[in-house]
Structure 1
Amino acid sequence: MIFIPIEFMFSAQMMFLFIHVVRNDDTANKNKPFLLLILLSAVQSFLLGLRWGYDVEATSYIVPILATLLPALVYAGVLNVIERDRWPLAQRMVVYYLPTVLVVGLTLFWREAVDIVVVITFLAYAVVILRLLLPGTDALGITPLDGADSTYRAIFFAALSLLSFALIDTILFLSFIWKHVDHVPSVILFANFAALVMLGLAATLASNSKTPPQDTPQPRRLDEEELSGSATIQRIEELMNDDHVYRDANLNLERLARKALIPSRQISQAINRSVGMNVSQYVNGYRIAEACDLLQATRRSVTDIMFDVGFQTKSNFNREFRRVTGMTPQAWRMKYTPAVEDPTAEPNTGCAAAQGGTT
């Protein structure tokens, strides 16, 4: 009977996932580091299957080297949805590949230190990524506000997976030192399956995060009066109410800042202090408010309305609609449509609070 390690099965699933993402998305909009992350995860799982399924000792030299590339790919992908990577090529090469080069050297001359470097690499990248996420979804400056929440959760899961990898390697390192190796294959099977699942999920979600080119002027430096929170909110409300910028499906925080000629950090702080929510929720509030009007005043399909007000996916639209109104778009239409047909009915206020992003 042919023995097939379960790692091989997972590797095949990751390859199918990679092919699916590549075939079903516009190439220009892909986050390439995250796509490479899926591919590398598949390769790592396959190598682990060779090591623990068929006792191929040579893979034990390759796996740690490739492992150091995982956090670098996660970090590069995160930068693609937070800010454009403006570092010079030489600096990027050092940050991304120095741990890999170090592990290659240690593999040749000091094998015992390899696991320590791998653990430190995973921990360091995880801490840096989590620090980047401290501002919440507003940290995703060049991610469309429509999908900011999903992308934020995906990146958070990716950071957790890096921490889990560090924990796994630490447990295995100590197991070999203390000569408790009987349970090592089981630990590797369970831990890598859980960690790679998180990486695959994060990579799939974040690979769809678009970063459209900026086509508006750079924000100028503002004086103290203009930097006041009230002035910032007034300017953003003008863009929302007069220019309807929220209808732009590719609108992100950086693009909003360029249109307003106000630094993105100032916009984020002003909205957070004034209405107690992030920029994504604020902008989506305007989208939902117009969607409510269209659902009530027209018989157009929910999908058409969703696209018109600036959403790109039905899942994000339904989630935000429920957040603001407490019900689905279909349920909202059924509840408030009679108000249009009956002149004596009270006017609908079910979505009035959505304007300006408040609930």
Structure 2
Amino acid sequence: MIFIPLPFVVALLLLILLAAVLRSQESSKGNRAFLALVGLCALQSVAVGLRWGYDIAELRYLLPVLASCLPPLVLASFRSLIHLDDSEGGSARWLHAAPPVGILVLLLLAPELIDAALILLFIGYASAVLNLGRTGPDALDEARFDRAIAAHRALVIAAASLCLSAFFDFAVHMDFEWSKGSNVAFMVSNANLLGLLLIGLTAVVAARAQALPAAASNMTQVSSTVTQDREVLDRINRLLVDQKLSHDENLTLSRLARRAGVPARQISGAVNRLARKNVSQYINDFRIAEACQLLRETDMSVTAAMFEAGFQTKSNFNREFRRVTSLSPASWRERNRRPAIT
């Protein structure tokens, strides 16, 4: 019987997910980091399978280098969901190439320090990833509103997965210390791959939150004061009503800010203070209200109403509809359908 290591199964699943994303994605440069992340997870899974499933010892030099590339790529992927000026972090981006270079140096000079270096690397980048989303879904201002909440959850899970990988690296190190590595093959081929699979899955979820690129426009600088919150919210509402901006399935906080001529942080603050919710919920509440009107007053199907209101997937639409109304779209229509005039 042909032996197929579990890491190969994980790699195959990740490649299928990668192919599905590539097939369904519009051409957006912002997705490249996420796609590269899924590809790296698949490559690392194959390397783990060859190393511990077929005992190819030479791969012990490659595996720590691949592992050191993972945390910086996770951070870069989720940073692509945040609007940054060109001047922000320009030179600092090159610093994220330091981890694999550092691991290569340790391989040559002090291989006994590699495990500790990887553990610190994973925990440090997990903290940096969590810091990106510290203000909630509104922090991901380049994520589409209908998927911003899912993208933020993916960010938290990805950070937890990095910590999980650090834990298993520590467990592997201790196994070498206590039992000369007798359990390493099992631990690496099974438990450690959970972290890779979770990171790959969260990358797919977050990649689908990436909006299509839009033409740049000038933003009018508006000072952020509490007294202007109502004016900001009124301006947003006019865009949603008069220009049907909520129908744009690629709408993000960054794009909304450019159209309104108001800084994204000021929009987020105004919505938080006046509506007591984040911007993603505010926009989706507006979309659900429009969907409810269509379901009550027309014979439009639920799917057609979903698309008309600005949603693109039934799962997101049904989740947000239940959050707002506590009912499914079909049940809500049955209870609230306007009677026909005879």
TM-score, shorter chain, exceeding 0.5: yes
TM-aligned CA deviation for residue 165 of structure 1:
0.9
Match of 1:237, SS state, is: helix
Q: In structure 2, how many angstroms separate the alpha carbons of the residues matched to 1:78 and 1:19?
A: 20
- Residue 82 of structure 1 aligns to a residue whose secondary structure is coil
Post-superposition Cα deviations, 1:126-158, rounded to whole Å, max 9, x if no partner, equal 101101111111011111111111211222211
Q: C-alpha deviations, 1:99-120, integer Å up to 9, x for none?
A: 1001011101110111122112
Q: In the TM superposition, what are the counterparts of 1:1-12 in structure 2 within 5 Å?
A: 1-12=1-12
Aligned to 2:94: 93
Return the offset for 1:78: 0.5
1:346 equivalent in structure 2: none
Q: Using the alignment, how far apart are the partners of 2:265 and 2:225 within structure 1?
A: 16
SS at match of 1:160: helix
User: Does the C-alpha gap of structure 1 residues 224 and 29 become closer, same or farther in structure 2, counting only changes over 3 Å?
Assistant: closer
1:18 aligns with 2:18: yes
1:79, 1:85 within 8 Å by CA — same for their partners in 2?
no
Deviates more, 1:302-311 or 1:216-225: 216-225
Tell me the C-alpha RMSD between the 2 structures: 2.1
2:169 maps to a residue whose letter is D
- Give, in whole Å, the separation in 1 of the partners of 2:244 and 2:123: 43
Query: Percent of aligned positions with the same letter in both sequences?
Result: 39
Structure 1 residues 33-52: aligned runs within 5 Å: 33-52=33-52
Q: Which moved more, 1:175-184 or 1:141-150?
A: 175-184
In 2, the alpha carbon distance for the partners of 1:85 and 1:116 equals 35
Is the 1:30–1:208 Cα contact (8 Å) retained in structure 2? no
Cross-structure match for 1:340: 339
**Is 1:7–1:49's contact at 8 Å kept on the other side of the alignment?**
yes
Give the corresponding residue for 1:73. Answer: 73
Once residues 225 and 134 of structure 2 are traced to their aligned partners in structure 1, the CA distance between those partners, rounded to angstroms, is 28
Deviation readout 1:293-327 (Å, 9 max, x if unpaired): 11111111222221121112121111111111111
Cα pair distance change 1:224/1:275, threshold 3 Å? closer
Q: Which structure 1 segments of 5+ residues have no match?
A: 344-359
The worse-fitting range, judged by mean Cα deviation, of 84-93 and 41-50 is 84-93
Tell me how far apart the structure 2 counterparts of residues 169 and 269 of structure 1 sit (CA, whole Å).
41
Deviation string 1:7-27 (CA, Å, 9 cap, x unpaired) is 222222222222222223223
Given the superposition, is the C-alpha separation of residues 144 and 332 from structure 1 closer, same or farther in structure 2, using an over 3 Å criterion?
same
- Please state how far the C-alpha of 1:85 moved relative to its aligned partner: 7.0
Residues 213-232 of structure 1 show CA distances to partners (whole Å, capped at 9, x for unaligned) of 34363332324668632332
2-structure distance, mates of 1:102, 1:85: 29
The 8 Å contact of residues 211 and 251 in structure 2, kept in 1 or not, is answered as: no
User: How many pairs were matched up?
Assistant: 341
Q: TM-score, normalised by structure 2?
A: 0.92
CA contact (8 A) 1:222 1:262 kept: yes
- What's the TM-score once normalised by structure 1's chain length? 0.88
From the superposition, tell whether residues 297 and 29 of structure 1 become closer, same or farther in structure 2 (CA, over 3 Å): farther
Q: Distance in 1 between matches of 2:213 and 2:5?
A: 44
| Contact 2:79-2:132 at 8 Å conserved across structures | no
Contact persistence 1:137–1:152 (CA under 8 A): yes
CA contact (8 A) 2:129 2:159 kept: yes
Instruction: Tell me how far apart the structure 2 counterparts of residues 49 and 197 of structure 1 sit (CA, whole Å).
Output: 14
Counterpart for residue 230 of structure 1: 230
Q: CA deviation at 1:269?
A: 1.4
Spell out the pairing of 1:62-141 with structure 2 (5 A cutoff). Answer: 62-84=62-84, 86=86, 90-95=91-96, 97-141=97-141
Q: Whole-Å Cα distance in 1 between the matches of residues 313 and 103 of structure 2?
A: 42
Change (3 A) 1:188 1:223: closer
Distance in structure 2 (CA, Å) of the matches to 1:7 and 1:311: 36
The alignment status of 1:215 with 2:215, answered yes or no, reads yes
Q: Which residue of 1 aligns with 2:197?
A: 197
Paired residues of 1:126 and 1:163 also in contact (CA < 8 A): yes
Whether contact under 8 Å (1:123, 1:162) holds in the other structure is yes
Unpaired stretches in structure 2, ≥5 consecutive residues = none
Which runs of structure 2 are paired with 1:277-296 in the superposition (5 Å)?
A: 277-296=277-296
Once residues 102 and 199 of structure 2 are traced to their aligned partners in structure 1, the CA distance between those partners, rounded to angstroms, is: 24
Question: Cα–Cα, structure 1 residues 137 and 5, in superposed 2: closer, same or farther, change >3 Å?
Answer: same
CA deviations over 1:257-309 (Å, ceiling 9, x no partner): 12222211111111112121110110111111111111111111222221121
Q: CA deviation at 1:50?
A: 1.8
Letter in 2 for 1:93: W
Provide the residue aligned with 1:166 in structure 2. Answer: 166
SS at match of 2:81: helix
The equivalent of 1:307 in structure 2 is 307
Q: Deviations over 1:312-353 (max 9, x none)?
A: 21211111111111111111112222x33268xxxxxxxxxx
| Structure 1 match to 2:321 | 321
Q: Per the alignment, do residues 216 and 297 of structure 1 end up closer, same or farther by CA in structure 2, a change over 3 Å counting?
A: farther
Provide Cα deviations, 1:173-222, integer angstroms capped at 9, x if missing partner: 23223345222222223322311221121121122222333436333232
Distance 2:194 2:136 in 1: 25
**Equivalent position amino acid for 2:278 in 1:** N
Mean CA deviation greater in 178-187 or 67-76: 178-187
Distance 2:29 2:305 in 1: 24
Cα distance change, pair 226–11 in 1 and its aligned pair in 2 (3 A): closer
Over 3 Å counting, the alpha-carbon distance change for 1:108 and 1:301 in structure 2 is same
